[in-house]
Amino acid sequence: MDSEQLATAADPNTAASSGVPLIDAEREDAELARSAAAGDAAAFGVLYDRHFSTVYRYAFVRVRDRMEAEDVTSETFMRALRSLDRYEPRAPFAAWLFRIARNAIVDRSRRTTRREARERAVATSAWVDPEREAVARGEAREIRSALERLSDLQRDVLLLRFFGGLSTDEICAALGKGASTVRGIQHRALAALRRELAAGA
């Protein structure tokens, strides 16, 4: 299992995959965020539409429940809306959103017992993207199971990179880590994931 295979599961609507230069998308996001902070609801709507699917996908892989992922996604954007006046464009808006989503998941997990988490995992068997049902019933389930056996930090780096579509710099901003650290974590996480998938083959 390598990065190209993981990337096939990422959202096709990210700026990088849609052909929009990343720097232009980041600049547009910053301008929209400024307008939204000044009270422009339409600007925040654009940001919501632009980033909803990748935040939802990240949340779903983390919590493994559609309704819970929807709640996390809604909470992420509500927190973002309330905190727009504190957003600093030095960090890409996408990275800022994923940091909020990650914190929201941590906060929710503290309120959830381990028994409830296990029950949710057993009850949830569908993959987020209905167009990939074949993957959902086979390979994706194996990948998801293997991801769960990684450390929290390794899993977050892979999810942000390949499911969230964030660049290394954006992941650094989301996790508060240096570029060399993030690259090292990604390298070790991919190696660990390969081993887990090979062991389960």
Using 50, 70 and 90 to split pLDDT, how confident is the model at 136?
Answer: very low
Report yes or no on 23 lying in a domain. yes
C-alpha 15/C-alpha 25 separation (Å) is 7
d(CA 141, CA 145): 6
Q: What predicted TM-score, i.e. pTM, was given to this entire model?
A: 0.60
The torsion angles phi and psi of 65, rounded to 5 degrees, stand at -150, 130
Query: For residue 143, how far is the Cα from the chain centroid?
Result: 15
Range of the domain at 39: 9-200
Q: Is 57 inside a domain boundary?
A: yes
Domain membership of residue 3 (yes or no) is: no
Residue 4 is assigned to a structural domain of this protein: no
Number of structural domains in the chain: 1
Domain CATH code at residue 97: 1.10.1740.10
- pLDDT tens track for 74-120: 999 999 999 998 998 888 899 999 999 999 988 887 766 545 545 45
Query: Is 37 a member of any domain?
Result: yes
Contacts by 124-129 with C-beta closer than 8 Å and gap 24+?
124/64, 124/65, 124/66, 126/66, 128/56, 128/57, 128/60, 128/61, 128/66, 128/69, 129/57
